[in-house]
Structure 1
Amino acid sequence: MRNNSLADLHGLVWTSLMAAAIGAGAFLIVPIGPVPVSMQPFFVFLAGFVLGPKRGAMAVGLYILAGTIGLPIFAGGKSGFGHLLGPTGGYLFGFVVSAWLCGKARMESTKIGWSAGLGFGGAALLAVYAIGAAWLKFTLSISWHKAWLLGVVPFIPWDGLKLVAALMCSRYLARFGLLPGQR
């Protein structure tokens, strides 16, 4: 990325837009247990793939900050510090790591290859699941097995599809030169 104020502004706008998209994805949910199926992971993956590791993680951090201070943008229109520390809080923290990992796939080239995208995306999924399931286990005082069954297993196929869709979208944007830092 060029070192000038217009390029910096462009990056900030993209970061803010991705944070807003993650918030919008929280409203597209299917409640199937303590952790709802939402479009948030799609936009988290996309933020990393589109913005890179630093700005992708910043977009998720901005989303979490907005929800924590009271904007009703967490899954199901919830907000506040209490929700952040509730059963789904680990997934929110895992999203920061997930966006960062997806962004690492973009480090060498603007257009992400399938193997790099799926590799880093798979690591991103594992990070979200590990942090989220551990948080779920401790907040609900359940066994590791039950936390895995409640907080990971039902989401694996859906999140896999969201990962592939986010990678496809970022590759499409890169093909037409629409990513931040591209000319």
Structure 2
Amino acid sequence: MNSKLSTREITFSAACVALLAVSAWVTVPFGPVPFTLQTLALVFVLVAMPGRTSILSVGMYVLLGGAGVPLFSGMRGGLGVLFGPTGGFILGFLLAAVLAAALRRLMPAGGVVRDVATAVLAIACSHAVGVCWLATAGGYSLAAAFAAGSAPFIALDAIKACVGVGLAKAVRAAVPSLAE
């Protein structure tokens, strides 16, 4: 495998970072964790892009946002957001990208099962890391963190994941070079 990034990978990654940022800016306050379109964008990125491009995209999103670029919900950025009560959801995106890339290697390319598994993995990682982080950084019990930061979003995230998978399939069909 070539370790050098291609212009194509850099371009697609930049577009994915922009997509993740715009999806975070669509924010509706909803208790300690806001409603955003990030799950939709994350699932799209993980399903549509090759594994390395997905990891690069999500990694750059987290790094740039952590460095203070206003990429996170409410047009916020900085380490305070990452280490704040909701930062675990964002850090869960990075875990999801790494695990999704591994999953892509194990499962046959282009299958609906792989796409759905990737979407479920994305939601599970974000929620698991987010709830644990919210409990720790927000001073909630684990049950209270789940009730406030995960339970209200499960059905909504499932819908967003379905849309993300559908959009990713359409983009992969339109841009065959995305196939691994």
TM-score by length of 2: 0.89
Aligned positions, number: 179
Quote the residue 1:85 is aligned against: 83
Quote the residue 2:17 is aligned against: 19
User: Contact 1:29/1:36 (CA < 8 Å) preserved in 2?
Assistant: yes
Letter in 2 for 1:158: L
| CA positional deviation for 1:43 | 1.1
Letter in 1 for 2:169: R
Alpha-carbon deviations, 1:135-179, whole Å to 9, x = none? 000011211110110111011011111111111111112223355
Quote the residue 2:60 is aligned against: 62
Percent of aligned positions that are identical: 26
Letter in 2 for 1:136: L
Letter in 2 for 1:49: V
Q: Are positions 1:137 and 2:135 aligned together?
A: yes
Quote the residue 2:32 is aligned against: 34
Unaligned runs of 5+ in 2: none
Moved more, 121-130 or 102-111: 102-111
User: Contact 1:57/1:100 (CA < 8 Å) preserved in 2?
Assistant: yes
Indicate the RMSD between aligned Cα atoms, in angstroms. 2.2
Alpha-carbon deviations, 1:17-75, whole Å to 9, x = none? 10111011111111111111101111111111122222212211111111122211110
Quote the residue 1:123 is aligned against: 121
Give the Cα–Cα distance (whole angstroms) in 1 for the partners of residues 109 and 16 of structure 2: 17
